[in-house]
Amino acid sequence: MESEAGERNEKSGAARSLLREFCGLNQFIRPRYNASFNPLPYSMAEVHHETAFFFGHVQGVGFRYSVLQVAREFEVSGFVSNLPDGRVHLETEGEAGEVRAFITAVEERMHGYIRKTERSEQRRNALFEGFEIR
Protein backbone atom coordinates (compact mmCIF):
# COMPACT_ATOMS: atom_id res chain seq x y z
CA MET A 1 0.00 0.00 0.00
CA GLU A 2 2.77 2.43 0.93
CA SER A 3 4.73 1.57 -2.21
CA GLU A 4 1.69 2.44 -4.38
CA ALA A 5 1.37 5.82 -2.67
CA GLY A 6 5.10 6.43 -3.04
CA GLU A 7 4.95 5.46 -6.71
CA ARG A 8 2.02 7.84 -7.27
CA ASN A 9 3.91 10.66 -5.55
CA GLU A 10 6.96 9.97 -7.74
CA LYS A 11 4.80 10.04 -10.87
CA SER A 12 3.01 13.24 -9.88
CA GLY A 13 6.36 14.80 -8.91
CA ALA A 14 7.79 13.82 -12.26
CA ALA A 15 4.73 15.28 -13.99
CA ARG A 16 5.12 18.56 -12.08
CA SER A 17 8.81 18.63 -12.96
CA LEU A 18 8.03 18.06 -16.63
CA LEU A 19 5.40 20.78 -16.53
CA ARG A 20 7.85 23.24 -14.94
CA GLU A 21 10.48 22.35 -17.52
CA PHE A 22 7.98 22.70 -20.35
CA CYS A 23 6.81 26.08 -19.09
CA GLY A 24 10.39 27.23 -18.67
CA LEU A 25 11.24 26.24 -22.21
CA ASN A 26 8.23 28.11 -23.51
CA GLN A 27 9.02 31.40 -21.82
CA PHE A 28 10.20 32.76 -25.17
CA ILE A 29 7.32 31.30 -27.19
CA ARG A 30 4.34 33.41 -26.22
CA PRO A 31 1.30 34.55 -28.15
CA ARG A 32 1.50 37.85 -29.98
CA TYR A 33 -1.20 39.40 -27.80
CA ASN A 34 0.75 39.18 -24.56
CA ALA A 35 2.00 42.34 -22.89
CA SER A 36 4.89 40.47 -21.36
CA PHE A 37 6.26 39.14 -24.65
CA ASN A 38 10.03 38.93 -24.52
CA PRO A 39 11.51 37.12 -27.56
CA LEU A 40 15.16 37.79 -26.67
CA PRO A 41 17.16 38.02 -23.49
CA TYR A 42 16.98 41.82 -23.90
CA SER A 43 19.47 42.51 -21.15
CA MET A 44 22.17 41.77 -23.74
CA ALA A 45 20.53 43.20 -26.86
CA GLU A 46 19.99 46.76 -27.97
CA VAL A 47 16.37 47.67 -28.62
CA HIS A 48 14.43 50.67 -29.83
CA HIS A 49 13.26 52.72 -26.84
CA GLU A 50 10.72 55.53 -26.75
CA THR A 51 9.61 57.85 -24.00
CA ALA A 52 6.27 59.61 -24.44
CA PHE A 53 4.53 62.22 -22.31
CA PHE A 54 0.81 62.74 -22.85
CA PHE A 55 -0.75 66.08 -21.96
CA GLY A 56 -4.46 66.87 -21.64
CA HIS A 57 -7.25 65.24 -19.66
CA VAL A 58 -5.27 62.02 -19.30
CA GLN A 59 -5.62 61.18 -15.61
CA GLY A 60 -8.71 59.76 -13.96
CA VAL A 61 -10.14 58.51 -17.27
CA GLY A 62 -8.71 54.97 -17.44
CA PHE A 63 -5.81 56.10 -19.61
CA ARG A 64 -3.18 53.82 -18.08
CA TYR A 65 -5.46 50.78 -18.18
CA SER A 66 -6.23 51.51 -21.84
CA VAL A 67 -2.50 51.75 -22.59
CA LEU A 68 -2.00 48.36 -20.92
CA GLN A 69 -4.76 46.87 -23.10
CA VAL A 70 -3.19 48.32 -26.25
CA ALA A 71 0.23 46.97 -25.17
CA ARG A 72 -1.20 43.45 -25.26
CA GLU A 73 -1.66 43.85 -29.01
CA PHE A 74 2.05 44.59 -29.61
CA GLU A 75 5.39 42.99 -28.84
CA VAL A 76 6.57 45.73 -26.49
CA SER A 77 7.67 46.03 -22.90
CA GLY A 78 7.80 48.97 -20.51
CA PHE A 79 5.47 50.89 -18.22
CA VAL A 80 2.94 53.68 -18.01
CA SER A 81 2.50 55.97 -14.99
CA ASN A 82 0.78 59.14 -13.84
CA LEU A 83 2.91 62.17 -13.03
CA PRO A 84 2.10 64.67 -10.27
CA ASP A 85 1.77 67.50 -12.83
CA GLY A 86 -1.17 65.76 -14.59
CA ARG A 87 0.74 64.18 -17.47
CA VAL A 88 1.02 60.47 -18.24
CA HIS A 89 4.51 59.04 -18.73
CA LEU A 90 5.06 56.07 -21.07
CA GLU A 91 8.35 54.18 -21.46
CA THR A 92 8.38 51.40 -24.04
CA GLU A 93 10.91 49.30 -25.92
CA GLY A 94 11.07 46.59 -28.56
CA GLU A 95 11.46 46.56 -32.33
CA ALA A 96 11.24 50.07 -33.77
CA GLY A 97 8.17 49.39 -35.91
CA GLU A 98 6.29 47.76 -33.04
CA VAL A 99 7.09 50.58 -30.61
CA ARG A 100 6.08 53.32 -33.04
CA ALA A 101 2.88 51.50 -34.01
CA PHE A 102 2.07 50.93 -30.33
CA ILE A 103 2.37 54.62 -29.40
CA THR A 104 0.37 55.62 -32.48
CA ALA A 105 -2.34 53.12 -31.46
CA VAL A 106 -2.43 54.65 -27.96
CA GLU A 107 -2.82 58.12 -29.48
CA GLU A 108 -5.64 56.90 -31.73
CA ARG A 109 -7.44 55.05 -28.92
CA MET A 110 -7.21 57.98 -26.49
CA HIS A 111 -7.35 60.89 -28.97
CA GLY A 112 -10.29 62.55 -27.19
CA TYR A 113 -8.23 62.98 -24.02
CA ILE A 114 -4.81 63.88 -25.44
CA ARG A 115 -4.06 67.53 -26.16
CA LYS A 116 -0.36 67.03 -26.93
CA THR A 117 2.23 64.23 -27.04
CA GLU A 118 5.98 64.65 -26.65
CA ARG A 119 8.06 61.71 -27.87
CA SER A 120 11.76 60.91 -27.86
CA GLU A 121 13.50 57.77 -29.09
CA GLN A 122 16.87 56.09 -28.87
CA ARG A 123 18.61 52.70 -29.12
CA ARG A 124 19.84 51.23 -25.87
CA ASN A 125 20.11 48.03 -23.88
CA ALA A 126 16.74 46.71 -22.82
CA LEU A 127 15.62 47.55 -19.30
CA PHE A 128 12.10 46.13 -19.15
CA GLU A 129 10.46 42.76 -19.16
CA GLY A 130 6.72 42.79 -19.70
CA PHE A 131 4.46 45.82 -19.55
CA GLU A 132 2.98 47.28 -16.40
CA ILE A 133 1.12 50.15 -14.82
CA ARG A 134 3.17 51.98 -12.23
Query: How far apart, in Å, are the Cα atoms of 25 and each of 36, 49, 54, 82, 126?
Result: 16, 27, 38, 36, 21
> What SS3 state is found at 102?
helix
Residue 109 annotated to the active site? no
Q: From the candidates 30, 34, 82, 100, which is the catalytic residue?
A: 82
Residue 125 annotated to the active site? no
As a whole number of angstroms, the distance between CA 81 and CA 31 comes to 25
Q: From the candidates 64, 87, 123, 134, which is the catalytic residue?
A: 64
Q: What amino acid positions are annotated as catalytic residues? A: 64, 82
